[in-house]
Structure 1
Amino acid sequence: MKNLSVLGITSLLACTMLFVVCKSESHLENPYKEKTEKELETLSNEKYSKIIALASPKECSHADDWKIIDIQTVCGTNHIAYHHSVDKTILQNMINDYNKLMEIYQPMMAPRINCTPYRKPLDVICKEGKATIKYE
């Protein structure tokens, strides 16, 4: 009976700690919130270049070796092709960070640029050694 009581208290404590940690993380402020427009522009260019470099480690010779992943841009959701050999967790973490930056930068830029309408990606094709997304 004592073991059951200790187990119950331990479980309650663990659930409470998990709730506090999850709740506090969900309210973290965007780290890019206080950046200037120029800083955001520079950071977005740097981060996007690194994402593309990671996603495309080699020439495209077989389209079946490539997949599609979503990324936010100043115009909304876009897509990039990535090689199947790329560590998707690392790529997704980089994209998540970039998307946080876009949460702040997008509202500043979207009214000043001409965005093309969203198109659904169909597949990846190889064009002149580059993985290119084919749209509807």
Structure 2
Amino acid sequence: MSKTKVATSPVPGQTVRSQPSAAGPVAPPRVSARRRRPGVIALSLALIAAGGAGVAVLLLQVGDRTDVVTVVRDVQVGQVLTEQDLGKASVALDPAVKAVRVDKMDSVVGKRAAVELKPGSLLSPSQVTKDSLVKAGEQLVPIG
């Protein structure tokens, strides 16, 4: 039931509603206590822990670096590699990239360049050879 009063208006057919009178203080709405759900809390904690572990694994893999051999100056085809031609770099190496590791640098020093080597490039085992590119009785003629 509504506490508004209906009064008749001087105009026939219309009704006028009056405002309710302020009878006293209004009681605050009743709030029920929340029910704790241990399953939801455990699931939340497990998801937070899994996210943290995933970030940790990702950061460890991104920071995994390998020391590899680089070329520091131009080396022409057939030229013997010296230690002055080679340098070291630490890079995040993809398993598909075959680069000479720093601990194997002695295996490439003294070998010949099978291709032209440019400064700043990684040295691959296929870019060097122990065989001479010019055999006995042959001559190397550059073509421009």
When normalised by structure 1's length, the TM-score is: 0.27
When normalised by structure 2's length, the TM-score is: 0.26
The structure with the larger Rg is 2
Q: Whose RCO is larger (CA < 8 A, sep 6+)?
A: 1
More strand by share: 1
More helix by share: 1
